[in-house]
Amino acid sequence: LLYSRDFYEEIKKHLQEGGILQEWFPGGEARILRGLVRSLKDSFPYVRLYKGLHGPGFHCLASMQPLEEPSLEEFISRLPPGAREDLLEWENPPDLRRVAAKIFSLPVSLEGFPMNRDTIYISDDHPLNEYYILRRILARWRGKYIIAK
């Protein structure tokens, strides 16, 4: 189950030394995002979160080793050609330095992240992100649907 502790435990078995898990949360319920972050933080000692480059969603980075943020120059120099193309695909004009600078300007502090000990985590036994359509319909009907922003 994506975003679950169980999934992250499997991922850790395949990460090389210094490896980084990158995951995209396209947006949706705030409690699913909180569950995803709780599951990541329970599974990895180092986690970073960034808002989506073009608005909705979040990019998650997690590792067993400290996540050092590279300088803008280092980030650009390390990007493979395919990643550069992907980053610039929807940009007009295609300015890699501007896009890279925007990425670095979108971190989300996990210290101020709305989460506590009671925040549910996601696991195969607690599939918070499953059956979301029914849950969203009921939440909207009750006026309690909260979107992650």
Q: What is the pLDDT of residues 28-56, one digit of tens each?
A: 878 788 888 888 988 999 999 999 888 88
- For the entire predicted model, the pTM comes to 0.75
Cα–Cα distance, 2 to 118 (Å, whole number)? 21
145: DSSP letter: -
Q: Average pLDDT over the chain, rounded to whole?
A: 83
**pLDDT of 88 strictly over 70:** yes
Note the pLDDT of residue 97: 93
How many Å from the N-terminal Cα to the C-terminal Cα in the chain? 23
Cα–Cα distance, 69 to 106 (Å, whole number)? 13
Rounded to the nearest 5°, which phi and psi values hold at 25?
-110, 110
Cβ–Cβ under 8 Å, residues 32 and 145: no
Cα–Cα distance, 11 to 22 (Å, whole number)? 11
Note the pLDDT of residue 56: 84
Cβ–Cβ under 8 Å, residues 73 and 108: no
Q: How confident is the model at residue 141 (pLDDT cuts 50, 70, 90)?
A: confident
| Higher-scoring residue by pLDDT: 91, 127 | 91
Note the pLDDT of residue 27: 84
Average pLDDT estimate for 101-126: 73
